[in-house]
Amino acid sequence: MATKSKRGFIKIAAELCKGCYLCESVCPFNLISVSEKLNQKGYHPAVYDEEGIGIEKHKCKGCALCALVCPDIAIEVYRE
Amino acid sequence: MKQVFGRTESLKDTAFHYCPGCGHSIIHRLVAETIDELNIKEKVIGVPPAGCAVLAYNYFDIDMGEAPHGRGAAVATGLKRSLPDRVVFTYQGDGDIAAIGTAETIHAANRGEKITAIFVNNGVYGMTGGQMAPTTIVGQISTTTPGGRNPDRDGIPIDLSEMLALANGSVYIERTSVDSPKNIIKTKKAIKKAFQVQMAGLGFSLVEILSPCPTNLKMSPVQASEWVSSTMTTQFPLKVIKDEAGNLGAAPPSE
C-alpha cells in the first residue's frame, strides 16, 4: 500500500451553483470560498481556491464531501 | 487523475429548479445513484407527488407516472400489480404522504404492496408557501402558526413512519436525514435496502428522510441543516423503525 496520501481537485460548475455554500461548510481544508462575481442565475457561486496551481501543491485530497452535500451536482471530483 | 464523483446516469443533464440548499435535489441524486448501482434503470418506475417535487420527472431519466395529490401509493400499487417485474417507487413529501395521502399509504402498507416509498419530510408545506404541515414540530413557526405550533390548538406532529411500522405488510421502515455527509451516506444505504426489499418481493418499504427547507424556515442553507440535526430530530429521531427483511443477500430475486 502506498503511504503517500492522494491528491485531488474539484471542478465547480458556476452556472449550476445556487450559492448555498454547504460545500464551503464541510470542506476539511477550507478550500472553497465565495465568488465576487455573479452567475447568470444571480447567485455568487462557490469557487475552488486551488484552481490553476500545481497538483503537487494541492491540499485537496478528493474526499468528495463537498460533492456529497452539493444539492445541485455542481461539483465534480477527481483523485489520483 | 480519475473522476470519483459526477452526475449519475439516471439523472438528466438538467439543472434542478429547487431553492438553494434544498434537500430534494440531494435525495433525487441518491435515488438515481441507487438505481444505477442496482442496475435497474430499465425496469424502474417512479411516481412523483404533488408538491415541490412535482417536476421530478424532469430530472430522472427513467419511466415516471405522475400521481394525483397524495395518491402515490395507490398509483404505485396499480403499476406494480400490472407490471410485477418492475421496481416501483413513490417519491412523496410530508404534505403528500402524511396529510392528503394518509389513507392510501396506510392501506398500501397494510396490504403489503411490494412498493417503495421515499418520504421526504421537511416539516412544512413547501410549494404553497410554508404553511403548517402535519409534520410541523411543536413550537415551529410557519405562515399559519406565526406564534409557533401550539399543541392545544394545532395538535402534535404525526409520526407516520411509526404508524406504518404497525401495519402488517410493512417490512422495512427507516428514518434518515440529509443534514450532513454522514447522514447522506446513511440515507443512500437505506434507499438501497428499501429497493432490495421490494426486489426480493418481501413487502412494503419506506424511507423517511428529514430534509432542510431553507426558504420556508427562513434560514440560510447551513443553518437549516443544523436546525434539522439539532431540533427536528428531537421529534423525529433517526433510526431503523422496522426491519423484518432478514438477510437480503440470501433472498432470491423476485423474477
Q: Does the distance separating the beta carbons of A18 and B19 come in below 8 Å? A: yes
CA closest to A22 among chain B residues: B222
Q: Which of B4, B7, B222 sits opposite A21 (nearest CB)?
A: B222
pLDDT value of position B155: 94
How far apart are the CA of A59 and the nearest CA of chain B, in angstroms? 15
Question: Model pTM?
Answer: 0.94
Contacts of B16 in chain A (CB under 8 A): 71-72
Residues of A in contact with B18 (CB under 8 A): 71
Query: Among B66, B69, B64, B28, which residue's Cα sits nearest to residue B50?
Result: B69
Domain A8-79 -> CATH class: alpha beta
User: What is the DSSP track for B111-163?
Assistant: HT-S-EEEEEE-SEETTTTSEE-TTPPTT--BTTBTT---HHHH-----HHHH
Chain-chain contact of A78 with B15 (C-beta, under 8 angstroms): no
- Determine contact: A9 vs chain B, CB below 8 A: yes
Interchain contact, B4 vs A8, CB within 8 Å:
yes
Question: Would you state the pLDDT for residue B252?
Answer: 52
Q: What is the pLDDT of residues A5-39, one digit of tens each?
A: 789 999 999 999 999 999 999 999 999 999 999 99
Gap from B175 CA to chain A (nearest CA, Å): 18
A21 touches chain B (CB under 8 A): yes
- ipTM of model over 0.95: no
Q: What 3-state DSSP class applies to B1?
A: coil
**Residue A13 contacts B, CB cutoff 8 Å:** no
From the list B153, B148, B160, the residue with the least C-alpha distance to B96 is B160
Cβ within 8 Å, pair B25-A67: no
Q: How far is A17 from chain B (nearest CA, A)?
A: 8
Inter-chain residue contact A69 with B25, CB threshold 8 Å = no
The three-state (H, E, C) secondary structure of B10-62, written as one string? CECCCCCCCCCCCHHHHHHHHHHHHHHHCCCHHHEEEECCCCHHHHHHHCECC
Cα(B175)–Cα(A31) distance, integer angstroms: 32
pLDDT, tens digit, 9 for 90 and up, residues B60-81:
999 999 999 999 999 999 999 9
The per-residue pLDDT for range B71-122, each reduced to its tens digit, is: 999 999 999 999 999 999 999 999 999 999 999 999 999 999 999 999 999 9
Q: Is B13 on the interface with A (CB under 8 A)?
A: no
Per-residue pLDDT tens over the stretch B202-218 = 999 999 999 999 999 99
CB-based contact (8 Å) between A28 and chain B?
no
List, in order of start, the domains of chain B with CATH numbers.
23-246 (3.40.50.970)
- Is the CB of residue A24 less than 8 Å from the CB of residue A34? yes
B161 to chain A, any CB pair closer than 8 A? The answer is no
Whole-Å CA distances, B249 to B113, B151, B192, B199 = 21, 44, 13, 11
* B174 DSSP β-pair partners: B207, B240
